Structure 1
Amino acid sequence: MSKRKNPTEPMFKVDETLVAIVEETPYEAVVMSITDEKGKKKYKLHFPGWSRRHDKKFEVGTEEGRMFKTTLAEYVKEHRSELSAEFLEEYDKKKEKPAEKKEEVPPAVNVIEPPKPDTTVKLTKKLIQILLFDKDQTDKCFVCKLPAKYPTDQIVADYLATIMPDATPEVIDAMVKTQSSANIKCADAQKICTVRGMLDYFNTVTGHHLLYKFERPRYNDMVEMKTGIRDFKYGSIATLFNHGVRASSEYGFIYLLRLIVKLPELMLSIKVDPVLVGMVAKGLVEIIAFLDANHEKYFEGEIEYEAVSPDYYRRATETFRTGN
Structure 2
Amino acid sequence: MVSSSKGESASDGENSSGDAPESDSKRLFTEGEKVLAFHGPRIYEAKVQKAEIRKKEWRYFVHYLGWNKNWDEWVGKDRLMKHTEENILKQQAVDKKAGVDKNTKSGRSAHTKPKSSADAKVDKDEPKTTSAKGKKRKADSGIEENPATDKLIKIHIPPNLKKQLVDDWEHITQQNKLVKLPRSPTVDDILRKYLEYKSKKDGVMTEAVGEILNGLRGYFDKALPTILLYKKERQQCRDAISDNTSPSSIYGAEHLLRLFVKLPELLGYVKVEEETLIRLQQKLLDFLKFLQNNESTFFVAVYDGPKVTEGSSKGNKDN
Please report the TM-score for the alignment, with normalisation by the length of structure 1: 0.47
Please report the TM-score for the alignment, with normalisation by the length of structure 2: 0.47
